[in-house]
Homo-oligomer: A and B are copies of this chain.
Amino acid sequence: MTPLLLALALAAADTPQPAEAHARANQAALVRELVEALSIPDVAADKVNIRRKAEFLRGRFVARGFTAEILETVGNPLVFAEMKAAGATRTLLLYAHYDGQPVDPKGWKQESPFKPILRNGKMDDGAAEIPGLGALTKYEDDWRIYARSASDDTSPIIAILAAIDAMKAAKTMPAWNLKVILDGEEEAGSPSLVPAISSYRNKLTADLMLILDGPIHPTLRPTLVFGARGNLTAEVTVYGPKMGLHSGHYGNWVPNPGMRLAQLLASMKGEDGRVKIAGYYDGITLSAEDRKALASVPDDEAGLIKLFSIGSVDKVGASLQEALQYPSLNVRGLSSSYVGALARTIIPDSATAAIDMRLVKETKGADIQAKFLKHVESQGFFVVQNRDATDEERLTHPKTARIDFRGETNAYRTDPSDPNAVKLTKALKDAFGVDPVRIRTSGGTVPIAPFIDALGFPAVSVPTVNFDNNQHGENENLRLGHFFRSVGILTAAMRLEP
C-alpha cells in the first residue's frame, strides 16, 4: 500500500471532524475564495501584486470579524489580524506566508501559474483538467487545484478563515485570543520578519505560535512539528599547481588537488556516515522518551529506500527521525576540471566541494564553523577565507585551501513537553481519536527560525497539505481532500484548552 493509499484508508476510517464537515458542506464558497486568492500573482519580487494580495487577505479577515491591518516593513508588508476571546488569558499566534515561490511559466502545463485549474487527480498520473473551477458545487477529495502557492502557502490561510466560519456556525469559538501574522517574503528568506519585531513587538506577543506551512505526514494523521534544522554552507577549494599541468610530465610529483580534497572530505566522515570533526555532535542527547517519541513517527523507511534505490543508509541515528536530531554534513557538489568527453589528462589547478551542514538546536552555526575550520587545519591545510590564496601562500604552505561559509540559519526546537505544546497535542488527539504524528525536528530549514528565536515563546508547526504537491517546482498543486481536512485540523488546534 502506498503512503497515500494508506492515508486515504485511515481518512475514511476517521470520524469526520465537525469543522471539516462544515467545510465540505460549504465547499463551493470555500474553493471559490481559495481560487480568488490564487489568482493574484504572489512572487515576493512582484511588489504591486504582492500588496494586492495582502489587501485582499486583510479584507477576508475583516469579513470574519477580525481587526486586521497591513504592517509596513523594510520589505513587503505583513498582514496582521486579531480576534479576542472573552475572558481569555492566553494568545495563539498563527503564522503563514502569502507569497509563493518564483515561477518559470514554461514548465507549467497550464496557461499561467496564477490562473488556477482543476484536475481530476494528479497530473503526473495523467489526470485531466475539469472545467469550472470556482463555479462548481461539489469537488471530489482526489481532485487537485494546480496553481502557484496552492499548497505553499495560501491554502492554510484560507483554511483559517474556513475554520472560523465553522466555529461560528457551531458556536464553539476558541478559548484563546487569536492573532494571525502573514509573511510576504518567506520564499525570499523572510528578511523583514526579525527587523519588524522591534516595531510591532506588542502585536506579535503570544503564548504559542502555530506555523501553518508544509505537508502533513503521508498517513494523513494530524502532524505536529516541534523544530527544524538550520543550515550553513561551506565551499572548500583545495589548490593544486598554479596552472593545469600535463599529468604525464608531473604526475607522481606535483600533488593533485582532487585527491587532496578527497582525503580532506574523507577525514570528515566515517564509513557509517557519522561526522568525525571533533565536537560536531557536542551537547546533543536523546532521552529514552525522546527516542520513543522518534520511533513513534510512522515513517515508511523501507518504502523510501526502495523509492530512492539505495542499498544502505547512514548510521547516524537508529532511524531517519533519529538521524535528523543531529547536524549533517552533505557534499552537495564537487568540481575539478572535467569528467566525461571533456576530460583532459592534466593535474588540475584546483578542486572544489560545496558542502551544506544542517544544524540542530544544540549546534550553532558559529560553533560549527569554528570546528570545521579547525578540522581542516588539523589536516595540514593553511586556510584562507572568502578570498583566493596568493601564489606566495600556496608556495610556502604544504597544503592550502580556501573556505567560504555562507547562508547561516540556526535551528529551532520547541520542547514537546512544553505545557502549551502538550495541550495542542491533546486537542488534536481528542478531535481525531488518534495520536498526532509528532516530529521532534524536521530535516529542512525554515527562514522563520530566527523569528521564533527572537520572539522567545514556543512554536509548533501544523502542516496540512499533501506531500506530493510539487512545492517549489512547476505545477504546484493542492489535493482538495487535504484542504477540507485542514479546516478540521486547524479548528481543533485553535480550540486547545485554555
| Residues on A facing B (Cβ under 8 Å) | 228-229, 231, 233, 235, 239-243, 245-259, 261-269, 271, 273, 305-314, 316-317, 320, 323-324, 326, 328-340, 343-348, 351-354, 356, 358, 380, 382, 391, 394-400, 442-445
Contact = CB atoms under 8 A, between A and B. Distances in A.
A311 B354 contact: no
B330 A345 contact: yes
A419 to B, nearest CB: 29
Copies per complex of this chain: 2
A424 to B, nearest CB: 23
Interface SS of chain A: helix, strand, loop or mixed? mixed
A174 to B, nearest CB: 32
A68 to B, nearest CB: 33
B333 A339 contact: yes
A154 to B, nearest CB: 22
Contact of A308 (B233, B241, B356, B443): B241
A261 B334 contact: yes
B358 A242 contact: no
A352 B333 CA distance: 11
Contacts of A268: 259
A247 B328 contact: yes
Contacts of A395: 305-306, 309-311
Given A309-B391, A339-B354, A314 B345 contact: no
A353 B339 contact: yes
Contacts of A334: 258, 261, 334-337, 339, 351
Contacts of A335: 334-336, 338-340
A443 B249 contact: yes
Contact of A262 (B261, B309, B313): B261
A320 B444 CA distance: 49
Contacts of A258: 265, 331-334, 353
Ranked 8 nearest A-B pairs via Cβ: A258-B331, A248-B444, A251-B328, A266-B266, A262-B265, A241-B308, A312-B398, A252-B323
B266 A394 contact: no
Contacts of A247: 328, 330, 332, 356, 358
B345 A262 contact: no
A324 B316 CA distance: 43
Contacts of A340: 235, 333, 335, 352, 354
Given A252-B317, A311-B399, 19 more contacts: A229-B248, A231-B248, A235-B339, A242-B308, A242-B309, A247-B358, A251-B358, A252-B324, A253-B320, A258-B333, A261-B334, A262-B262, A263-B266, A311-B398, A332-B337, A333-B337, A334-B351, A335-B336, A339-B353
A25 B251 CA distance: 42
A266 B267 CA distance: 9
A444 B252 CA distance: 12
A330 B242 contact: no
Given A246-B443, A251-B358, A443-B251, A310 B343 contact: no
A292 B451 CA distance: 71
A469 to B, nearest CB: 14
Q: Which of A271, A306, A380 has the most CB of B within 10 A?
A: A271
Contacts of A264: 262
A484 to B, nearest CB: 26
Given A253-B320, A254-B308, A331 B248 contact: no
A331 B262 contact: yes
Given A339-B352, A345-B233, A399 B312 contact: yes
A347 B332 contact: yes
A333 B311 contact: no
Contacts of A351: 331, 334
A310 B261 contact: no
Contacts of A273: 252, 255-256, 259
Contacts of A262: 261-266, 331, 353
A336 B336 contact: no
Q: Which of A257, A310, A353 has the most CB of B within 10 A?
A: A310
A251 B360 CA distance: 12
